[in-house]
Amino acid sequence: MSGIWCRVEILVPEKHAEELYAAYVKQRHDQDWTYLPYGPFEYFDDYQS
């Protein structure tokens, strides 16, 4: 589904993992992980597993 400002698509880890990791690694705010039982991740391999 595409709109003017964004596109919504099914998450495919093989396709999206690197881009998602790159976005989160730049943030470095622990509150992004407040309600998750894992993370933040220092290395992509840890994030991917």
pLDDT tens digits, one per residue of 1-37: 899 999 999 999 999 999 999 988 877 777 777 888 8
- The domain limits of the chain are 13-48
First to last CA, the chain: 28
Q: What is the pTM of this model?
A: 0.65
Region of 12 on the Ramachandran plot (φ > 0 left; ψ -120 to 50 alpha; else beta): beta
